[in-house]
Amino acid sequence: MARAGMKASTETPLDRIDRLRPSTRTPGTRRSACATLLIGVSGLTGWAGAAVAGESSALPAGWFGPALGIGLAAAVAAAAAAGAAAAAAIVLWRGRAQRASGAGARVGTGPPAAAAAASGPESRVDAARTAALLGKTLDCMDQGVILVGPDRTVQVANRRAREWLGLSEAFIASRPSYREVRALARRSPHWGSLVADTPLQLSEDDPAATHTVAERRNAEGTVLEIRTVRTEDGGLIQTLTDITERRSAEDRYRLLAENATDLISLQSIRGGTKTYVSPSARAVVGWEPEEFAQLTLAQQLHPDDLARVKREAASLTPDAPRRTSEYRLRHKSGHYVWVESTLLLTKPGTPDEALIIASRDVTARRAADDALRESEARHRLLAERTGDVIARADLDGTLRYLSPSVEPVTGYAADALLGRSAMAHVHPQDRRTVLHRYAALVAAGPGARAKFEYRVRHRHGHDVWLEVNPTVLYDEATGVPLGFVDVARDVTARKAVDAELAAAREQAEAARVHAELASQAKTDFLASMSHEIRTPLSSVIGYTELLLDDPDLTEGQRLQASRIRSAGSALLTVVDDILDFSKIEAGQVDLDLMPFALHGLIENAVAIVRQLAERKGLEIRVDIDPALPQTLVGDQNRLRQILLNFLNNALKFTRRGRVVLAVATAGSTDRGWPIRVSVTDTGIGIAPEQQARLFKRFTQVDGSIRREFGGTGLGLAISKKLIELMGGAIGVVSAPGEGSTFWFEVVLPEASAAPAPAEAPLARPVRPARILLVEDLIVNQDLARAVLERAGHMVDVANDGLEAIAAVQAKDYDLVLMDVQMPGMDGVTATRHIRALPQRVSLIPIIAMTANVLPAQVSEFRAAGMNDHLGKPFRRDELQAVIDRWIGEGTVAPHPGAGAAAAVDRRVYDDVVDLLGPDRLAHFLDELAREIRDRLSDARLAADDPQRLARDAHSLVASAGTLGFSELSGLCKQLEEACQSGASGDLLAAVRASRDRALDEIERLHTVA
C-alpha cells in the first residue's frame, strides 16, 4: 500500500499501464479501454481502490509486468469481492439479477462485503451504475476476460471471450462451471490446438502455482494467448489475447535471425546476459546457441580486444545508439575468429534496454586483406630489388616510373630517364618494329598480351638486348587505354648463348650428315661383304649337300664332306650374326608380337640342341613353372634366338654334367606375366671381373677361350639388344669352376586365345614345274640346276636380265628364280621390264635368289615387283618351300606386275590367313580396299595438300604392309617422306599404279576365296 501511495504522486495509473505493457506492443494500444475500465473502478468506494492495490500487490509482479490489462484483471477481482452490491450490479448487467445476487452473496465475504451491505440505497445505485460501466468496458475490450469464482463457477465472460470460445450470453448467465465452459470451448472452431505443453488451468493440487500462460492455434491460423492467474480467495482470472500478428512478426524475425549467416544475439543491459543467440553461432564460432549464451564476455572475446569492446559498448547513447567494431571471438575449438559486428542499443532508458549485436565472420576477408598488404609489400620490394626493369609509360612512350634496376641494365639512373621518351633509347633498326608491336597490343584490346625482344643503347655505347612483356593499362570507368606497364629483362647473355647454340647445331647437323654417310658406307660395306661371302659359300654348302646325297661315298669321304658342310654353316652363322647386330644397331629390327605357345617354344629350342647335348654326354633338364599360362603374346622367333644362344653357349662351355633350363614367374600383374628364363650349366664358369665384357660386341672372356671354343662374341650382345628392345633385363651369375647361369626377364601379356595349331603338311607329289633360272655365275647355275632337276623340275638358264626378258616372252614358265647383281641388266631392272609386258607374261612369279639380304635391299626387290626372296646360300628344303609356295597344286600363283596381284607378299599373306582365318581376313581386306580408295583417290593425289597426303600415306603404311601388300606399303612410306620434303610429284604415277594393282588383287582374292 505504501508503494502504491508513493507511485500515486509521480505516476498516473495510465502511465503505469504504459510502463508495464510489453515492449513488443505499440504504445497506446488498448489505452482507451483500459482507461475507461480504471476510471470506472476509481468511481467505487474507497475499499475498491484498496482492493485493487491489494490485489495488485498480491499477484506476482513477474506476471503483471508483461501482461496487458493487468489493471482490468485486478478491477474485476475487486468487483467480485465487493459484496452483494457490486455482485448485484454485475448480475443486472448480465440480465440475471436474482441468481447473480445470490451467487454474489456466496462469493462476497470479508470486510469489503460488510461495507457494501451496510451501505444505503444510494451506494447500491452507484454500484449498479459502476458495474454497468464495467460491463460495457469489458465488452469493448479486444481481450477476452473470464472470471472464475472460488467455487469454480464462471461469474464473468466478456463479449470477446464468448466469441472466441463459442459461449452464449445466456450460458454464461447460468453460472456454468469452469469445467463446462472448457468442454464447450473445445468444440469451438476458434479454440484450436495447444501450441505448447502448458496446462490451460492452474492445478488445484498445487496451491503454490499462481499463474500459467498457454497458446492455442486454430485452423484459420489465429493464435490465442491464454493467461490464467489464481486469486487470493481461490478463484481464477483468465485473459485471452489474439497474438496472431505478434507471433507472425516474431516468426518472421526469428526466420530471418535463424537463417542469417551472421551471428545475432540479444544482450540485456541490466542483467548482462544474452537472452537470445541465433543458430548461426554453430557456423561462426562452433558453439551451440545455448552454450554461447552462457559464456561471459571475457570467455567470448580475445583478451587483447576485451577492454576496447567494453569501451565501445559503454559509449552507446540514445543519441548515438549504433556503431561498428571488429574483434575476435573464441571458437569452440580454441582458435579465434575475426568478426565485424554492428552494436545497436535498443529501448535505451527503459527496463527493457538491451544490446543487439550482429556479427559477421570476416576471417577470410581479414586474411585476404593481410595477404593483399603482404603482396603489395612484396611486389614493392620485388620492383625495387628485382633484376628485371619495371616501367610505366604513357601511350606516347613517355616514361613515368622506372624501377632502380634500370641503372645496371642501361647505365642510366631511373630519375634521369623519367619524363623522356623510351623510343629515344631503342636501337634505330628496331624502332619501327617496336612501335608496330605496341600499337598492335593497344588495338587488340583488354586482356591482350605480347612478348618480344629489341635492342636499347647502353650509356657506354654498346647494345643491350631486352625481352619485354608489355600490358596496356585501361581506365576502369571508361575503358580508355591510359598507357603501358612493361617488364623488361636483360637477355644479352642469352642471345649470345643462342648464337653459340645455333653454331653448335650447325656443327651437329654437319656431324649428323657425316655420321649418316658413314653409316651408309658401313651398310654398303656389309651388303658387299655379305654378297661376296655368301656367293661362294652358297656353292660350298650346296655342292656339299649334293655330295652327301651320293650313296657311293666312303665313310671317310662322307665324314670329310660333313665337316665341310659344318664349317660352311659356321661361317654362315658368323655372317648372319654380323648382319643381325648391324640391323639392331641401325634400329631396323621390329618385334613381331604374336600369340605363341610357351611350352612349344621351349620344347622346340631344346629339340634343336638335344643332338649336340647327346653327342657330348650332357643332360638337359627343363623346369617350367606350372603357374604360367599356356599362351603368351611376344616375338617367339626372337625369344627362340636368345634361348638357343644361351643353350648353345651352355653346351659349348660344359664338358661334363648337365644343363638346366628353368622358366619361372612371380604371378600376373597389370602389365602381364613377368617371366624369368635361366639356363644353368656346370661348365668352366666366368670370373666376376670378366662378366661385364660378356654382353659387348665381338667380345669373349679371353683369347684362349676364343681359340678353344670359337665364336664371334656377338651372340650375347645381340641377345642383350633384343631383350632391351622387349623392355626386359638380362644378366649372368657365375664363378670360375662352378658353372654359370645366364638369365633374362621380360613381361609378356597373356594371349586372349590359344594360337591355332599348325596343320601337318599333307604328303603329296611335287608337280614338275618349268623354271627359268637367271644367274650369271656358272658355278651357281650348275648348283641350282642340279638341285632343281633332282627335285623333278625343268630348268632353263638365262645369263642376265636381257636374256630373262626374252626367255619369258618366248616360252611359258611357272616361276623365275632371279639373281640381282649381274653384269649387263641386273635382276631388279629386268623384273620391272617383265612387269610391264602384256598381262599373261607379267603375272609370272619372280623370286629373288641373291646374297643381298639386308632389309632395305629386300624391300627394294619387293617394290620392283618380285614376289619373294631366298637368300644365298640357300638350303634345298628352303628352295623347295619357296617354289612350292608359289607353284601350288597345279596352278601358277599370281604375282606382282601390271596385273591384279602387283604387290602382295604371299608369304606374309598366308601367315595372316593362318592367324586370322579366311572370314576375318576377308573383312580386313574390305576395310583396306575402302581405305585405299578413300586415301589414294585421284582427287586426293591431285590436290595441292602435301600435309594431308602425307597423313593419308602414313595411315596406309602399316595396314597395307600387315596384310602383305608390301609394294603399296613401301611406296606409301616413300610418298610420306616425299610430301614432308616437298618432292612428291615423281612418286604419284607409281602410287596410282600400285593402288590399282592392290585393288585388283583384293578383288581377285575375294574371288578365289
Q: List all residues 6 or more positions away from 618 whose beta carbon is below 8 Å from its beta carbon.
A: 651, 654, 656, 657, 658, 659
All cell numbers assigned to 957: 603404311
Q: What is the CATH number of domain 590-703+710-748?
A: 3.30.565.10
Q: What is the CATH number of domain 260-368?
A: 3.30.450.20
Q: For position 526, what pLDDT does the model report?
A: 63
Note the pLDDT tens digit of each residue in 5-19. Answer: 333 334 333 233 334
Q: For position 207, what pLDDT does the model report?
A: 63
Least confident of 247-256, 362-371, 481-490, 818-827: 247-256
All cell numbers assigned to 972: 606409301
Q: Which of 131, 84, 122, 134 is nearest to 104 (CA)?
A: 84
Residue 409 near residue 418 (C-beta atoms within 8 A): no
For residues 660 and 787, what is the distance between their CA atoms, to the nearest angstrom?
A: 40
Residue 748 near residue 633 (C-beta atoms within 8 A): yes
Q: For position 5, what pLDDT does the model report?
A: 36
Note the pLDDT tens digit of each residue in 320-373. Answer: 999 999 999 999 999 999 999 999 998 887 877 889 999 999 998 888 888 878
Least confident of 677-681, 873-877, 911-915: 911-915
Residue 897 near residue 866 (C-beta atoms within 8 A): no
Q: For position 248, what pLDDT does the model report?
A: 79
Q: Dihedral angle at the C-alpha atoms of 114, 116, 118, 122, nearest 10 degrees?
A: 180
**22: cis peptide before it, omega within 30°?**
no
Note the pLDDT tens digit of each residue in 449-472. Answer: 899 999 999 999 999 999 999 999
Residue 806 burial (C-beta neighbours within 10 Å; 0-12, 13-18, 19+)? exposed
Mean pLDDT (the chain, rounded): 76
3-state secondary structure 510-522: HHHHHHHHHHHHH
Fold equal for 130-251 and 260-368: yes
Least confident of 185-194, 426-435, 733-742, 948-957: 185-194
Q: For position 1008, what pLDDT does the model report?
A: 60
Q: List all residues 6 or more positions away from 6 whose beta carbon is below 8 Å from its beta carbon.
A: none
Pair type for strands 594-597 and 631-634: antiparallel
At residue 954 the predicted structure's pLDDT band, cuts being 50, 70 and 90, is confident
At residue 578 the predicted structure's pLDDT band, cuts being 50, 70 and 90, is low
Write the class of the CATH domain 770-887: alpha beta
Q: In the predicted model, is pLDDT for residue 749 greater than 70?
A: yes
Q: In the predicted model, is pLDDT for residue 399 greater than 60?
A: yes
According to DSSP H, which parts of 151-260 are helical? 159-165, 169-173, 178-186, 244-259
Q: For position 675, what pLDDT does the model report?
A: 93
Q: For position 801, what pLDDT does the model report?
A: 92
Q: In the predicted model, is pLDDT for residue 505 greater than 70?
A: yes
Q: For position 201, what pLDDT does the model report?
A: 52
**199: cis peptide before it, omega within 30°?**
no
**Amino acid identity at 244:** T
Note the pLDDT tens digit of each residue in 878-903. Answer: 788 888 888 864 333 333 333 333 45
Least confident of 75-84, 330-339, 576-585, 938-947: 75-84
Least confident of 160-164, 185-189, 445-449: 185-189
Per the model's pLDDT, the better-predicted residue between 923 and 148 turns out to be 148
Q: In the predicted model, is pLDDT for residue 44 greater than 60?
A: no
For residues 409 and 388, what is the distance between their CA atoms, to the nearest angstrom?
A: 9
All cell numbers assigned to 60: 506476482
Q: Which residues pair with 323 in a beta bridge?
A: 343
Angle between helices 918-935 and 906-916 (to 10 degrees): 120
887: helix, coil or strand?
Answer: helix
**Amino acid identity at 808:** V
Q: For position 208, what pLDDT does the model report?
A: 66
Note the pLDDT tens digit of each residue in 975-1008. Answer: 888 887 776 666 788 888 888 888 888 887 776 6
All cell numbers assigned to 489: 629483362
Q: List all residues 6 or more positions away from 462 whose beta carbon is below 8 Å from its beta carbon.
A: none
Q: For position 705, what pLDDT does the model report?
A: 42
For residues 582 and 178, what is the distance between their CA atoms, to the nearest angstrom?
A: 119
Q: In the predicted model, is pLDDT for residue 664 greater than 80?
A: yes
Share of the chain above pLDDT 70, in %: 73
Q: For position 7, what pLDDT does the model report?
A: 35
**Amino acid identity at 561:** A
Mean pLDDT of 939-950: 83
Note the pLDDT tens digit of each residue in 428-455. Answer: 999 999 999 999 999 998 988 899 999 9
**Amino acid identity at 491:** V
647: helix, coil or strand?
Answer: helix
Longest pairwise C-alpha distance within the chain: 178
Assigned CATH topology for domain 906-1006: Four Helix Bundle (Hemerythrin (Met), subunit A) (1.20.120)
Per the model's pLDDT, the better-predicted residue between 274 and 41 turns out to be 274
DSSP 120: -
Q: Name the range with the highest mean pLDDT among 210-224, 270-284, 794-808.
A: 794-808
For residues 234 and 822, what is the distance between their CA atoms, to the nearest angstrom?
A: 142
Q: Where are the domains of the chain?
A: 130-251, 260-368, 590-703+710-748, 770-887, 906-1006
pTM of the model: 0.34
Q: For position 854, what pLDDT does the model report?
A: 65
Q: List all residues 6 or more positions away from 908 whose beta carbon is below 8 Å from its beta carbon.
A: 961, 962, 963, 964, 966
Q: Which residues pair with 674 in a beta bridge?
A: 747
Q: In the predicted model, is pLDDT for residue 580 greater than 80?
A: no
Angle between helices 827-835 and 855-864 (to 10 degrees): 30
**Amino acid identity at 576:** D
- Taking each continuous run of H as one helix and of E as one strand, the counts in the chain are 41, 29
Least confident of 62-71, 773-782, 822-831: 62-71
Q: For position 700, what pLDDT does the model report?
A: 55
Q: For position 24, what pLDDT does the model report?
A: 35
Least confident of 107-121, 314-328, 848-862: 107-121
Note the pLDDT tens digit of each residue in 533-552. Answer: 766 777 777 778 778 777 78
Q: For position 269, what pLDDT does the model report?
A: 77
Share of the chain above pLDDT 90, in %: 24
Q: Which of 692, 691, 667, 663 is nearest to 678 (CA)?
A: 663
Assigned CATH topology for domain 130-251: Beta-Lactamase (3.30.450)
Per the model's pLDDT, the better-predicted residue between 46 and 111 turns out to be 111
Query: What are the φ and ψ backbone dihedral angles of 869, each rounded to 5 degrees?
Result: -140, 140
Least confident of 29-38, 503-512, 621-630, 734-743: 29-38
**Amino acid identity at 622:** V
Q: In the predicted model, is pLDDT for residue 384 greater than 80?
A: no
Categorise residue 624: left if φ over 0, alpha if ψ from -120 to 50, beta otherwise: beta
Least confident of 434-443, 619-628, 900-909: 900-909
Q: For position 438, what pLDDT does the model report?
A: 93
Q: Which of 278, 325, 266 is nearest to 301 (CA)?
A: 325
For residues 587 and 879, what is the distance between their CA atoms, to the nearest angstrom?
A: 29
